[in-house]
Structure 1
Amino acid sequence: MINQLISLFLVVIFLFSTPSVSFAQNNINNLDNLPPEKVQELISIRYSITTIEELENRGLLSETQAITETKSYLKKSQLIVGEKLSLEQIIQLTNNYEIVTPGSQTNIIQKIAGFVTFTNIILTSAAILLVLAVASLASLYLIPILMLIPDWGYEIIIYLVCFGAIVGGNFVTGIGEFIAFPGCLGLIGAISFSHYLHRKFFQKLVDEKNSYPYYLDSFILFIIWAIAAIIYQSSLLGFIAIIALETCLGFSVVITPLCYMIGFTERDVISRAMSASLILLTLYVSAEIANFELPYIGIFSTGVLFVGTFVYFVGTLIVSSKWYDYGKFNINRYLWLQFLTIGSGVTALYIGSVWQVLLLQRIGGTFFFLYLIEKYFELPWHEKLWAWATLGLAVILYLSALVAKKYPEYFFLVN
């Protein structure tokens, strides 16, 4: 009897002192008693086994290899929880712990640690040394050679690079216009460089012909850019071609520190630029209304509708000002120009709203508003009335902002 009690006592002690047996008798149903890092190890084992099964299904692992690897991971899980578990039991146990992941700071540290490996350090050092070596070799050999090239040689090289990009883009599918575009813009710098090198010749041309060289430069750019736009069927190149055309007609934008000046190079070119812009607008708006697709040159429509409308209405603002004929004011001419400006604004709003030519509607509406502000300043304000004039302008601008906010379709650059 005593021997049986001793044996029973030893069995009880053994059961309580062995973790695996204790775990088994408790019929494990959660991992709350395990440290977080052990839970994460078990989750990792789960994903490793499911990955092995997926590789086996794809034929990347043989059945024997899959069984061997799975048994290995199941043994690791046994060491963690203290009893043998199947994959189904592991999945059931870890389902509630999917969201337990290391903190974001740990992830960042791990990523940095993964990046700053020995191999990456070597590669980074090699890249820095390569740049330094190339720069040193260039200063020793390339720069002295480049200094031997005359100015006209650089002029030829610049033009060859620009035309090479314009022509070469045609041989690249999908992104040809984006290769040609830098080449087209580069011609501006090339022409400017030519003006610098041959400044005496161009100055003589200005003195003798009384004409600005950039009219011819703009026309040449228009021809080249228009041909490139047609070849690539690019509205981007077509847009800058129309800008070059308007510049050739006398429109200009001068940029100085803290100041933009938009207008025309001289008084005599205003009517020419306005007439040409109106003709282009009439052509393209008529095609838009008639739903007629202009072959090959439809790519210029955005440039004409935007730049052409802008140039035309800037011209109407200038010629309709009472200061345009300052010193030789003619009331009949002044009234005719008011009629032209108001009629143009109303026509733009009507055509834009009825036939949904939204760009024409927005630009026309914006310049019609600017025209009203211009007329406000033309009222005969005397010195003592300027305070009232300023107050009135503030009220007008405030009300105009409310109108523009309510009807943004009639104003340009209004959300």
Structure 2
Amino acid sequence: MMRRLISLFLVVIFWLSTPSVSFAQNNINNLDNLPLEKVQELISIRHSITTIDELEKRGVLSETQATTETKYYLEKSQIIVGEKLNLEQIIRLTNNYEIVTPGSQTNIIQKIAGFVTFTNIILTAAAILLVLALASLASLYLIPILTLIPDWGYEIIIYLVCLAAIVGGNFVTGIGEFIAFPGCLGLIGAISFSHYLHRKFFQKLVDDKNSYPYYLDSFILFIIWAIAAIVYKSSLLGFITIIALETCLGFSVIITPLRYMIGFAEKDVIPRAMSASLILLTIYVSAEVTNVELPYMGIFSTGVLFVGSFVYFVGTLIVSSKWYEYGNFNINRYLWLQFLTIVSGIIALYIGSVWQVLLLQRIGGTFFFLYLIEKYFELPWQQKSWSWATLGLAVILYLSALVAKQYPEYFFLVN
């Protein structure tokens, strides 16, 4: 259980460290929470859309072409800030920012030099001395007191601190979600700590009745995080909510030294997780295509699109493998699963390209390519022909890289 919860925590950290997706607070009023390079990308998008409008007015682009290109750039802005924006909102948000040019480096150096003053040196020294003094005082007075607190006392304190952060952020204007977010993640550690302290109790449940629902922990996180996401109207909290839901359904990531294993906890949970992910994707895509605004969809849309499509297509790769039913192979079921995987990939590419659902298009295209590689390995290679098989795979991968470079819109994480 601790491994599953730790894996969930590491998945969230891995997503936060991915530079291709950034999230800002819903209904944002400024871009102060975004990295500078993301602000520059948003400014470039503004100039691109403005140029498209000018070209349409001059008759260089047709109305259909202009609409398609504009939607493409608006999709990119949604990936950057985590919510839909129109041109007016982008202009309003970027009015106070400028594109950084080489000539502005002198001003940056001057600003840095301005901090290196006698006063700031004194303040820095005072801060260092303060930290050292507090650490020394803690070792003299606080640590002896902390050693007297029993383990169950720490358990209660951890839960209270997490809940205080989740609830307390609601009373802070502007940065509430960023106070609640550490509290939400802290619950993963709190639950893991509870399992560690009461490991004999949980193990006894498993040994005696084999009835403890380990997925209940992820479901509890899903409920709490969903409520927090709705209260704070935060796409950031909405994203980890969908991760908790998929974990509850059986999807997992196990991280060991020099190895990442992405898949499902058990074979039996794959159809359940795939079905739930497909339902979420269907709801999202239907609302996107028909321009219907569903309640709270904006909060969870990025999580549904990114995590839901990822889990679904990972599932299709697994179930369509000829080794999925190893020892109980059924040709009819195998052919049906091939049909399901191929149709899913084609639909993802079609919807993504026609309605400019850029992320779905890239994830669908990437997994469709992985499916083709999987089928290549399923060919009845003989031991002596493995050299030729390896050569063929190298050629396929090389040509695929060229195709991905030429058409990056159909592949995930391709520059």
Answer yes or no: same fold by TM over 0.5: yes
2:12 corresponds to: none
Q: Secondary structure at the match of 1:253?
A: strand
Query: Are 1:289 and 2:289 an aligned pair?
Result: yes
- Residue 405 of structure 1: how far off its partner (Å): 0.8
2:342 aligned with 1:342: yes
1:278 counterpart residue number:
278
AA in 1 matched with 2:332 = N
How far is the alpha carbon of 1:135 from its aligned partner?
A: 2.0
CA distance in 2, matches of 1:341, 1:202: 39
Whether the 8 Å contact between 1:202 and 1:213 is mirrored in structure 2 is no
Q: Which residue of 1 aligns with 2:316?
A: 316
Contact 1:215–1:249 under 8 Å retained in 2? yes
- Following the alignment from structure 2 to structure 1, what is the Cα–Cα distance between the partners of residues 407 and 115? 56
Per the alignment, residue 157 of structure 1 pairs with: 157
Which residue in 1 is equivalent to 2:73? none
Amino acid at match of 1:254: I
The Cα of 1:351 is off from its aligned counterpart by: 1.1
How far does the alpha carbon of each residue in 1:162-203 deviate from its partner, in whole angstroms, 9 at most, with x for none? 111111111111111111111100110111111111111111
Q: Structure 1 pair 113/397, CA: closer, same or farther in 2 (3 Å)?
A: closer
Match of 1:377 in 2: 377
**Partner secondary structure for residue 153 of structure 1:** helix
Shift of 1:206: 2.3
Report whether the alignment pairs 1:405 with 2:405: yes
Match of 1:360 in 2: 360
SS in 2 for 1:294: coil
CA contact (8 A) 1:230 1:297 kept: no
Matched residue of 2:381: which SS?
A: coil
1:169-318 map, 5 Å: 169-210=169-210, 213-318=213-318
Q: Distance in 1 between matches of 2:228 and 2:114?
A: 48
Q: Deviations over 1:278-319 (max 9, x none)?
A: 111111110110101111243111111111101111111001
| 3-state SS of 1:148 partner | coil
The alignment partner of 1:356 has SS state of coil
Match of 2:394 in 1: 394
Tell me the residue number matched to 1:132: 132
Match of 1:92 in 2: none
1:123 to 1:296, Cα distance in 2 relative to 1, 3 A: closer
- Paired position in structure 1 for 2:143: 143
Question: Cα deviations across residues 225-273 of structure 1 (Å, max 9, x unaligned)?
Answer: 0000001111110000000000000000000000000000001000110
Q: Could you tell me how far apart the structure 2 residues matched to 1:396 and 1:267 are?
A: 30
User: How far did residue 136 of structure 1 move?
Assistant: 2.1
- For normalisation by structure 1, the TM-score amounts to 0.70
Deviations 1:310-343 (A, max 9, x none): 1111111001000111111111111011001101
Rounded Cα–Cα distance in structure 2 between residues aligned with 1:401 and 1:358: 19
- Asked if the contact 1:206–1:213 (Cα under 8 Å) also holds between the matched residues in 2, the reply is no
Per-residue deviation, 1:137: 1.7
8 Å CA contact retained: 1:277, 1:311: yes
Return the structure number with greater relative CO, CA threshold 8 A, min gap 6: 2
Aligned-pair RMSD on alpha carbons?
2.1
Name the CA shift for 1:123/1:379 in 2 (closer, same or farther; >3 Å): closer
**Residue in 2 that maps onto 1:67:** none
Residue type at the aligned position of 2:279: I
Distance of 1:218 and 1:113 partners within structure 2: 47
Aligned equivalents of 1:283, 1:300: Cα separation in 2: 12
- Is the CA contact (8 Å cut-off) linking 1:277 and 1:309 kept in structure 2? yes
TM superposition shift of 1:129: 3.9
- 1:262 counterpart SS class: strand
Which sections of structure 2, spanning at least 5 residues, go unmatched?
A: 1-105
Structure 2 distance, partners of 1:374, 1:364, is 15
Displacement of 1:132 after TM fit?
A: 3.1
TM value normalised by structure 2: 0.70
CA distance in 2, matches of 1:328, 1:255: 30
What's the secondary structure of 1:286's corresponding residue?
helix
1:254 match: secondary structure: strand
Cα distance in 1, alignment partners of residues 269 and 189 from structure 2: 25
SS at match of 2:356: coil
Partner of 1:53: none
- In the comparison of the two structures, how many residue pairs are matched? 306
Q: Aligned residues: percent identity?
A: 87
- Return the alpha-carbon distance in structure 2 between the equivalents of residues 173 and 260 of structure 1: 39
Which position in structure 2 is the counterpart of 1:329? 329
* SS of equivalent residue, structure 1 residue 241: helix
SS in 2 for 1:315: helix
Specify the code of the residue in structure 1 equivalent to 2:253.
V
Where does residue 414 of structure 1 map in the other structure? 414
> Whose radius of gyration is greater, 1 or 2?
1
Query: What is the Cα deviation at residue 205 of structure 1?
Result: 2.3
Q: Cα distance 1:345–1:124, how it changes in 2: closer, same or farther (>3 A)?
A: closer
Q: 1:166 to 1:385 in 2, by over 3 A?
A: same
Does the 8 Å contact 1:238/1:300 carry over to 2? yes
CA offsets 1:148-167 (integer angstroms, 9 cap, x no match): 11111111111111111111
Distance 1:236 1:222 in 2: 14
